[in-house]
Structure 1
Amino acid sequence: MKHVLFICSRNRLRSPTAEQVFANWPNIEVASAGLAPDAEELLTGEMVEEADIIFVMEKQHRAKLARRFKPQLRKARVVCLDIPDDYAFMQPELVAVLKMKVTPFL
């Protein structure tokens, strides 16, 4: 089972959408979290350690992840999806972009 983690800033729109879209995919376990102090689900070192692949929505998320969780990033592959914060939760266009960009890695 592959552990997949989706990260955005506040874990309110993009990463929870991704978590829901890929929740029932075979052979993966998904979670989502945010890097901002007011995130719905705040990213922890344990979440990072458990992940096999981490999808971040923007380059700034990759930089923050590397700064804050460098010791826990030993095994996870980090992929930047370059998806701006321009979408609503479960917006069809966001779902389509996520499927297009994430699926090749799964």
Structure 2
Amino acid sequence: MPLKPLPDSARQLLFICSQNRWRSLTAERLFDEHPHYQVRSAGTEPGARVRVTAGHLGWADAVFVMERRHADILRQKFGAALAGKPIVCLRIPDQYQFQDPALMELLRARLRPHLGDW
């Protein structure tokens, strides 16, 4: 079932994957210098480039995860920090390198229903 678009007030976006090296970092880079969105990324694993904290979640208006298990981890570790925040699973498997053109196109396609033509 497709999710409805995020509210217009959602301007601070957080992207989450496991290691914050390929998928979520690529998503963050897609928004470099975007005039309407502030974007950060983080990972759920102990060895992540940037490991997600409650502070990241408190900052974000909306959270995008690459896999369902990322959302499960966030809910388990940071349930209170997620209260009232939309969490969107993009269903992007861990099979792409950083800034892979196929990954960038997939991210754009999966984000379009939530952010429109950004």
Q: TM-score range by the shorter chain?
A: over 0.9
Q: How does 1:43-62 map to 2 (within 5 A)?
A: 43-62=52-71
1:60-75 map, 5 Å: 60-75=69-84
Deviation at 1:88, TM superposition (A): 0.5
Post-superposition offset of 1:103: 2.7
Cα distance in 2, alignment partners of residues 17 and 82 from structure 1:
15
Point out 4+ residue stretches in structure 1 off by more than 6 angstroms.
Answer: none
CA shift for structure 1 position 22: 1.7
The separation in 2 between residues aligned to 1:26 and 1:75, in whole angstroms, is 25
In structure 2, the residue matched to 1:12 is 21
Residue identity matched to 2:72? A
How many residues align structurally?
Answer: 106
Say whether residues 1:38 and 2:47 are aligned partners: yes
In the alignment, residue 22 of structure 2 is paired with which amino acid? L
Unaligned runs of 5+ in 2: 1-8
TM-score for the superposition, normalised by structure 2: 0.86
Deviation at 1:26, TM superposition (A): 2.7
| Bigger strand fraction | 1
Task: Name the Cα RMSD after superposition.
Answer: 1.1
Question: Looking at CA atoms only, which structure, 1 or 2, has the larger radius of gyration?
Answer: 2
For residue 102 of structure 2, the aligned residue among 82, 93, 101 is 93
Q: Which runs of 5 or more residues in structure 1 are unaligned?
A: none
Q: Which residue identity does 2:14 align to in structure 1?
A: L
TM-score normalised by the chain length of structure 1? 0.95
